[in-house]
Structure 1
């Protein structure tokens, strides 16, 4: 009898297809097979596209004024970013995934790695099919799933599954022939963690595909580039090297959330927890030498038991890209005040930093005064000094009493273009869907 080969570790990367657009389509069945685009908060650029919109040649990040003729000609349905809705749907998707696997690492609002041990390829694929069917039935979102023994390979497998309809949205790179297949067909830019700068350098050295890079000597590339590229090469060969996403530099969002050991009922206790999450997330942001423009925050009770249930999410857009812990902590206080409801036992809370940039350069408008650059530099120096002191002695310096910063609560929030906002169907009792 043939021995069944069990793998010590298998990753299933579940990634929601066209997530923001998919969230909007849940409540608009009339938009099925129609081109749809979700725009940035001020309706300036395209941040999510349906497949129909992609097929019209509209690229991610396209300025709306440049494609307005196409929007009119092809009757593309446009929506303003509705982060309260998207975050709520994201939480529902993640809860569904948690029902299949307790060892789950959330990478972003629409992606998560499910980690399985001692499992066969057949079992992994069967589980992936069940997950895909469950998310579609319970939430109405289609997910693509990549299966591999490393996270980098799982990302490539996921991308391959999405762009090749014959896969049915699932592709396994567990066998060596399929692993080599996706490596040969994947350009360098599709590799997780290979940015434009690294891609250009590697291309100049003769590397064209993921397959050619996988044949490089990891130790030689570590000395020539850095340890991250060395790890990437090992990952392409199916060797698991990325222990935790939280410690990974390959991020487009930073999420920090925890379940509370004891249920919390007071707003001050929840804020204290959130302030700690903000501090950790901002420290990570600064270590990546990045700035964030937006932050989302969520709180919820336990989904189980007989206690009253409540959950809510909210997001904010800052006036300018920032990495200052004090600014985000103050923003968290403002957001928490808006969604906290007394009388519930809260089980979990979290924050997400996103819309990253490597500089504080931003497009201002006529209604807001440009920030004082000298003051911003001082704030940067202060945060860097805090990080340096805390590097060897954790929490030597930390935030004490936090006060709301008027910049975060600026009236600019009320000036956001809301012409294309959909309802917060699942995040507001006043905007629940009507059934006739």
Structure 2
């Protein structure tokens, strides 16, 4: 048995934990640069605000119904996500973190437990420990558990937990699930299936398995089998190391000054290197890129990148940052307005398998110790406590006009109780 724990309207729920006055009001959270709605309260959904709609298209609704708008506060959301996952991990044999607001729970060995009561109890504990409402669906496969979680989310009377195991109930639910909402079936496959008269999960199950495999490969057949109750998707309680790591951002407005852009790119480099070290890896290559605003056709355009190769794989922010800023100076063109920049690390290998070079002049042990101290201080005291001198002191230049405090990760933003 497996369970899928899904935080309800997660970003909005995080904002409500620290501002209970938002309960019952329409609330939305925007994407980077305050672009599109990426999280909506149920009240906002009822007003017709769709996922991904740009803010400028719903200005009238926001003003008419006094919709509360927030900029994305990923420091807060990331920390609250860890708290939810920690609560869940204490209740099950293993947990697989699927995304910032979702996690699969391994319930194998708990078959003799009242799983419906367990799901409700786990949801209640998450609410008590974190303030976040969580819908937990339990079923025999991960795909069915994901559907059970969605059913639970739409029925408050289930009290945050639903064990979907009776075949009659499963059949009824699958007849109501649109084919595009099945986990593992994307837009391309859903369009193809609908062109063949397949509109629901039940219709999909009625297809011959040979046809499914021919049209949708082994991945499609695996989904088909999962919907029939045959577990085919393995449970992984640890995230495999990433083979490529990227940090990039679009700026609030075009940047024309190399010094300003360098500060931003240096900040991205620090962030991407921290992610690299967190998974205990090193990289052989780095890519830095600069993009102008492609929507402004009447101004000079540039979409270029530079590849950097390190003779010895490294995770040192100092070494990578020095190389990235050097190549950035070659990319920069005076008079061009740059809208986006980023740093990509690739050629990633485990840090304990790095092949040294006889002629390497860098003091690797010194770099390693320095990075460890830097990471420890930033983890203990707060992200950005210790930075490189080349990093922008203003942070990332994005539109965040509706940003809430970082209640749990910044000392100055801790709530004051009077």
Cross-structure match for 2:243: 280
SS at 1:13's partner residue? strand
**Distance change in 2, residues 1:413/1:365 (3 Å):** farther
Deviation at 1:165, TM superposition (A): 3.0
Q: Deviations over 1:32-81 (max 9, x none)?
A: 10011101121121111000000000001111111111111111111100
Residue 334 (structure 1) aligned with residue 270 (structure 2):
yes
Equivalent position of 1:57 in the other structure: 48
1:118 and 1:419 map into 2 onto residues whose CA distance is 49
* Correspondence for 1:170 among 161, 180, 183: 161
Residue among 14, 17, 37 paired with 2:8:
17
* CA distance in 1: counterparts of 2:222 and 2:31, whole angstroms: 35
Query: Could you tell me whether the CA contact under 8 Å between 2:12 and 2:27 is conserved in 1?
Result: yes
Tell me which of 164, 173, 191 is aligned to 2:182: 191
Partners of 2:120 and 2:159 within 8 A in 1: no
C-alpha change, 1:370 and 1:195, in structure 2 (3 Å) is farther
Going from structure 1 to structure 2, the CA distance change for 1:245 and 1:195 (only over 3 Å counts) comes to: farther
Q: 1:116 Cα shift?
A: 1.1
Q: CA deviation at 1:349?
A: 6.4
Q: How far apart, CA to CA, are the structure 2 residues paired with 1:235 and 1:361?
A: 43
Q: 1:428 to 1:182 in 2, by over 3 A?
A: same
- The match for 2:331 is none
Change in 2 beyond 3 A, CA 1:153/1:72: same
CA contact (8 A) 1:218 1:231 kept: no
Cα-to-partner distance string for 1:82-101 (whole Å, 9 max, x where unaligned): 00000000011111011101
Residue from 26, 35, 43 that aligns with 2:26: 35
Deviations 1:396-417, CA, capped at 9 Å, x for gaps: 9966765123444679954312
Match of 1:427 in 2: 409
Say if 1:338 and 1:221 are closer, same or farther in 2 by CA, change over 3 A: closer
Distance 1:12 1:362 in 2: 45
Q: Report matched runs for 1:4-403 at 5 Å.
A: 10-120=1-111, 123-244=114-235, 256=239, 277=241, 279-282=242-245, 317=249, 334-335=270-271, 372-373=302-303, 375-376=304-305, 402-403=319-320
- Structure 1, unmatched stretches of 5+, are 1-9, 247-254, 258-276, 283-291, 296-315, 320-328, 340-345, 352-359, 384-395
RMSD: 3.6
The structural deviation recorded for 1:122 is 5.5
* 1:177 Cα deviation from its structure 2 partner: 1.4
Q: Rate the CA distance shift 1:91–1:400 in 2: closer, same or farther, 3 A.
A: closer
Name the count of aligned residue pairs.
Answer: 328
Secondary structure (helix, strand or coil) at the match of 2:416 reads: coil
Aligned-residue offset at 1:182 = 1.5
CA distance in 2, matches of 1:97, 1:34: 28
Q: TM-score, normalised by structure 2?
A: 0.69
Any idea what SS the aligned residue of 1:61 has? coil
The whole-number CA distance in structure 2 between the counterparts of 1:28 and 1:429 is: 18
Inter-CA distance 17–400: structure 2 relative to 1 (3 Å threshold): closer
Give me the TM-score of the superposition, normalised by structure 1: 0.67
Q: In 2, Cα distance between the equivalents of 1:180 and 1:239?
A: 15
Secondary structure in 2 aligned to 1:201? helix
CA distance in 1, matches of 2:393, 2:22: 34
Deviation string, structure 1 residues 4-33 (Cα, Å, up to 9, x no partner): xxxxxx111000000000000001011110
In structure 1, how many angstroms separate the alpha carbons of the residues matched to 2:45 and 2:10? Answer: 14
Q: Give SS of 1:225's match.
A: helix
Deviations along 1:138-185, one digit per CA (max 9) or x if unpaired, are 100000111111111111111111123333332222221122121111
Other structure's SS at 1:48 match: strand
Shift in CA distance, 398/119, structure 1 to aligned 2, threshold 3 Å: same
